[in-house]
């Protein structure tokens, strides 16, 4: 899955382990395997003058001091990576980071709450093993401490972020492993043009008995499939960039072609060549469907959550 906001401490962790292999997430289990499990969500909190909140997620507090520390650490990571914070680029990135960081903290709380509900546990030993790998990757304890100082981080910051990373990896694995490895597929081809009049003319030729592949080779503007007679290959539901084409293809039987279909890319005519009810997913399509499954899962968490924000992150 590819989240559209940044992980601020992971940006700094990337600097800590620059030019080294990334940390390999360790498996989390439904029961402790030794050491202390990750802490469950905290109790309901009310903002107070002595400990103000940045947000509250299903009653779990995100304290302002923690949010401000994340912002400061991201700022330090930008500086360490060579970004001039006085430049227009630096100012814009910092402005954008305020909302992104708070969203990241909210989403991390949602994921950790879901992990606790599902019995997912990450132990101190697993977190320490991941930290040991980072220390080794950067050249030992002295080099690691230097990187921490350079990025305005503490060892506890790194341990906390690694724990969150391992919990997140375990949740992702649990959610995405539910996606089946086989699915109904169609083998289809299409013709894409940029105006409805031309599409109507081509459709009329098809209805008069013209060869679909020949017309696709002659007229389609989809350069990726035109030379193959418009052939899109085999695909399951939900992987095409034009969902209208996807929907049309799965509504046809072999040999049938659609009417003119409009999408963001132009005007299509689709023909199904073959159908198969239970075909193995390609590695690329399996990953895409797993990404979609996790995105839908996390969006559902957001939709169902009670989220209160106490800081203004607007630019």
Strands of the sheet containing 307-309, edge to edge, are 60-63, 53-57, 307-309
Question: How far is 234 from 226, CA to CA, in rounded Å?
Answer: 16
* Domain ranges, ordered by start, for the chain: 8-178+292-309, 183-280
The DSSP secondary structure of 247-285, one letter per residue, reads HHHTT--TT-B---EEETTEEEEEEEEEEEEEEEPPHHH
Position 48 scores a pLDDT of: 55
Tell me the β-bridge partners of 121: 29
Question: How far is 8 from 292, CA to CA, in rounded Å?
Answer: 23
Phi, psi of 112 (to 5 degrees): -65, -35
Length, in residues, of the chain: 315
Position 79 scores a pLDDT of: 83
Q: Are 24 and 132 in contact (CB under 8 A)?
A: no
Question: How far is 137 from 24, CA to CA, in rounded Å?
Answer: 12
> What is the CATH class of 8-178+292-309?
mainly alpha
Residue 216's H or E segment, with its range, is helix 212-219
What residues contact residue 138 under an 8 Å CB cut-off, 6+ apart? 16, 17, 18, 20, 144, 147
Position 39 scores a pLDDT of: 34
Architecture per CATH, 183-280: Roll (3.10)
Question: How far is 182 from 249, CA to CA, in rounded Å?
Answer: 18
Three-class secondary structure of residue 188 per DSSP: strand
Per-residue pLDDT in tens (0 to 9) along the chain, 315 residues: 334 433 444 444 544 444 333 333 333 333 322 333 333 333 344 555 578 999 999 999 999 998 998 888 888 888 888 888 889 888 888 888 888 999 999 999 999 999 999 999 899 999 999 999 999 998 999 999 998 887 777 888 889 889 988 999 999 999 999 999 999 999 999 999 999 999 999 999 999 999 999 999 999 999 999 999 999 999 999 999 999 999 999 999 999 999 999 999 999 999 999 999 999 999 999 999 999 999 999 999 999 999 999 987 766
């Amino acid at each position: 899955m590819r989240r559209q906001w940044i992980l601020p401490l992971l940006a700094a962790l990337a600097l800590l382990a620059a030019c080294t292999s990334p940390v390999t997430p360790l498996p989390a289990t439904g029961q402790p395997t030794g050491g202390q499990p990750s802490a469950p969500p905290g109790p309901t909190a009310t903002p107070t003058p002595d400990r103000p909140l940045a947000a509250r997620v299903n009653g779990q507090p995100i304290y302002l001091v923690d949010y401000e520390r994340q912002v400061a650490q991201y700022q330090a990571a930008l500086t360490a990576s060579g970004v001039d914070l006085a430049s227009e680029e630096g100012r814009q990135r910092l402005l954008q980071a305020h909302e992104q960081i708070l969203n990241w903290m909210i989403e991390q709380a949602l994921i950790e709450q879901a992990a606790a509900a599902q019995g997912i546990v990450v132990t101190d030993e697993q977190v320490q093993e991941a930290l040991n790998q980072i220390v080794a990757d950067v050249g030992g304890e002295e080099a690691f401490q230097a990187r921490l100082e350079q990025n305005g981080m503490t060892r506890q910051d790194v341990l906390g972020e690694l724990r969150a990373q391992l919990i997140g990896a375990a949740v992702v694995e649990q959610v995405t492993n539910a996606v089946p490895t086989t699915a109904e597929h169609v083998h289809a081809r299409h013709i894409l043009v940029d105006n409805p009049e031309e599409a109507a003319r081509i459709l009329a030729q098809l209805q008069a008995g013209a060869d679909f592949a020949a017309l696709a080779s002659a007229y389609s503007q989809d350069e990726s499939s035109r030379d193959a007679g418009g052939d899109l290959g085999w695909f399951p539901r939900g992987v095409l960039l034009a969902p209208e084409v996807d929907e049309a293809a799965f509504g046809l039987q072999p040999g049938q072609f659609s009417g003119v279909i409009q999408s963001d890319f132009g005007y299509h005519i689709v023909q199904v060549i073959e159908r198969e009810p239970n075909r193995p997913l390609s590695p690329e399509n399996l990953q895409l469907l797993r990404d979609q499954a996790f995105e839908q899962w996390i969006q559902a968490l957001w939709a169902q959550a009670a989220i209160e924000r106490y800081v203004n992150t607007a630019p």
